[in-house]
Amino acid sequence: MTLKNLFRFIASIIFIATLAACNKYNEQTKANSEALEQSLAQLIQQTPSISRFNELLVKTGYDKLLATSKMYTVWAPDNQTLQSLDAAITNDGERLKQFVGNHIVNLAYYTNSPNPSLRIKTLNGKYIKLTSTQFEDATITQGNQYVGNGVLHIINKIVLPKPNVWEYITGTAYKQKDYIKALDFTAIDSSKAVQTGLDPATGKPIYQAGTGLITKNYLFDRVGDLRNEDQEYTFILLTDDALDAEKNKIKPYVQSTTEAETDKLSSLHVIKDLVIKGVYAPQDLPATLVSADGVVVPINKNAILETRVTSNGIVYVMSEANVKLSDKIRLVKREGEKPDGFSRNDKSGNIAYRLRVNPNNGQQFNDIYIFNHKIPLFNVRYNLKELYKVKYKVYWVAPNDVQTLTFKQRFAVNDPNSTAFAETQVNLKDYSEIYVGDYSPATFGGITAYVIAANNGVDQTNSINLDYFILVPQIP
């Protein structure tokens, strides 16, 4: 073969190969184009192996949703799998819609989307866990079939909607369910209430009686709504004996004006510490957890009687909690530079919110310094929301680091005229915690604390200075 013929031969081979590649590309482009012109509703209707799921889509009306331009992902159980679906679900329109909606999510998700897993909200409001091979505990047998408005995956199991934490609790016979329900209260939702005027004394809205009333719950308001599908929880459900033991332990410290109110408070102050934000699987459970209210909760794995995964977390049924009183009834600290008010509002020019440095350790701190105000018994107040019925020792830090004279100030609770606490001298450049007295609440609840200037109008001798004060509980 001559060199010229060889070149012609090579050129013809390249041309044929290029032509074949172009044909293959055109065929693939045509297939892709045809797929993108389809909807999920059409693809599912044309797939024989999931014809039963298509029937359920039609029955619930979801087929119309999957025919729109909005993007969805569907995990469809195959026909053989759906043979095991309980007839009680297929014969109940609401339950069937919940079931079908549990297999559909907004947006497009492919098997390479999780890294390594995703928690995705389905159309029924529940969340599912997705990995590259699993939809919850179902295996993806055929994946990534895309069309113009989403993606279809075929799975080998039905995935029933899980109850959330609260739904699971209400389905049990444990007393904890009833104790939580007893914490319900009625409130007014101003967005739903009918306003009839304004209170001339306070300027607050007046609402028509009976309008805008909603039911709320003290536990849910405090640590999180266990019905909320968007927040994951680890929840400890105690047996009746274990729950009563914890209530009896805290009850002396939450005494109120009535036995009924005391019982509610003891329930709240036990159960609030059985709610932990986030999910801790059995294999990841540490020796202690920290509750949503910041209390350390010991976890004895031998006391776990049952474990239930929910749509928004996990529930452990346990035969003990054994939370220490010292972890529940904690030191109360209030920063001086964060007051709730003053005895007069015309002395802002005499009130300094300072950033200082402790020369003993080099650490910065903030405080309040009230000076040259010339008002006998001028006071600053601090609202504290919760004190247990226990004796507290009260300490404060008042550095008095810019004056040349010492002065006296007094601590008081609820009544600024009370002399239950004696005046305490504030020495120069003293950065230590100074004991100022004891306080024992008669009942559980909030207080207003005051720091009060000396009963004179002389500069430097009726100043107020406060870095912080603390109330240290004396638990027997």
| pLDDT tens per residue, range 19-51 | 444 454 444 444 455 678 899 999 999 999 999
Task: Check whether residue 19 and residue 115 sit in a common domain.
Answer: no
Same domain, 102 and 151: yes
pLDDT band at 15 (very low <50, low <70, confident <90, very high): low
> What pLDDT, on a 0 to 100 scale, did the predictor assign at position 26?
45
Number of neighbouring beta carbons within 10 Å of residue 339: 21
pLDDT of residue 138: 98
Percent residues over pLDDT 90 in the chain: 87
Residue pair 253/390 in contact (Cβ under 8 Å)? The answer is yes
pLDDT of the residue at 153: 99
Of 144-148, 209-213, 240-244, 457-461, the one with minimum mean pLDDT is 209-213
Cα–Cα separations (whole angstroms), residue 36 to 30, 42, 109, 146: 10, 11, 16, 7
Residue 289 shares a structural domain with residue 406: no
Q: What's the sign of the alpha-carbon dihedral 446, 452, 455, 457?
A: negative
Last residue of a domain, one of 305, 324, 343: 324
Query: What is the domain range of residue 468?
Result: 332-473
pTM of the complete model:
0.87
CA distance 233 to 54: 35
Look at residue 131 and tell me whether its pLDDT is greater than 80.
Answer: yes
Residues 77 and 175 both lie in one domain: no
> Does residue 202 sit within a domain?
no
| Cα dihedral sign, 393-435-432-364 | positive
pLDDT band at 13 (very low <50, low <70, confident <90, very high): low
Q: Are 152 and 40 in contact (CB under 8 A)?
A: yes
From the list 300, 456, 289, 297, the residue with the least C-alpha distance to 373 is 456
Q: Establish how many alpha carbons lie within 13 A of residue 374's alpha carbon, considering only the half-sphere containing its beta carbon.
A: 2
Q: Residue 165's pLDDT is what?
A: 99
CATH code: domain of residue 119: 2.30.180.10
Q: Does residue 78 belong to any structural domain of this protein?
A: yes
- What number of CA atoms fall less than 13 Å from residue 313's CA on the CB side? 29
Chosen domain end from 324, 350, 372: 324
Residue 214 lies in a domain: no
Domain final residue pick, 115, 136, 155: 155
Q: In total, how many domains does the chain have?
A: 4
> Per-residue pLDDT tens for 109-130?
999 999 999 999 999 999 999 9
Lowest mean pLDDT segment, chosen from 161-175, 195-209, 351-365, 373-387: 195-209
Mean pLDDT for the stretch of residues 300-310: 98
Say if CB 238 and CB 245 are below 8 A apart. Answer: no
- Residue 322's pLDDT band, with cuts at 50, 70 and 90, is very high
In a domain, 458, yes or no: yes
Q: Are residues 22 and 146 in the same domain?
A: no
Q: Tell me what the mean pLDDT of segment 49-54 comes to.
A: 98
What integer best gives the mean pLDDT of the chain? 94
> CB 17: neighbour CB atoms within 10 A?
10
Cβ-Cβ contacts under 8 Å for 202 (sequence gap 6 or more): none
Determine, yes or no, domain membership for 200. no
Residues 180/271, Cβ–Cβ less than 8 Å = yes
Q: How distant, in Å, are the alpha carbons of 351, 369, 379, 470 from that of 339?
A: 11, 12, 10, 14
Sign of CA dihedral 150, 151, 152, 156: negative
Query: Would you say residue 96 has pLDDT above 80?
Result: yes
Would you say residue 106 has pLDDT above 90?
A: yes
Cis preceding linkage at 161, omega within 30: no
Residue 203 pLDDT: 86
Amino acid in the structure at residue 438:
D
Give the whole-angstrom CA distance, residue 269 versus residue 149. Answer: 50
Say if 203 falls within a structural domain.
no
pLDDT at 4: 54
Q: Give the pLDDT band of residue 302 (cuts 50, 70, 90).
A: very high
On the question of pLDDT at 288 being above 80, the answer is yes
Same-domain check for residues 400 and 431: yes
Cβ contacts of 470 within 8 Å, gap of 6 or more: 331, 332, 333, 334, 394, 395, 396, 433
Same domain, 310 and 382: no
Establish if 403 belongs to a structural domain: yes
* CATH (domain of 392): 2.60.120.260
In a shared domain, residues 469 and 357: yes
Per the DSSP assignment, residues forming a β-bridge with 213 are: 188
Specify whether 366 is located in the same domain as 405.
yes
Dump strand ranges (E) for 404-444. Answer: 407-413, 424-426, 434-439
- Are residues 116 and 230 both part of a single domain? no
Instruction: Specify whether 307 is located in the same domain as 350.
Output: no
Residue 352 maps to a domain: yes
Dump pLDDT digits (tens) for 418-467: 999 999 999 999 999 999 999 999 999 999 999 999 999 999 999 999 99
Kindly state whether residues 79 and 27 are assigned to the same domain. no
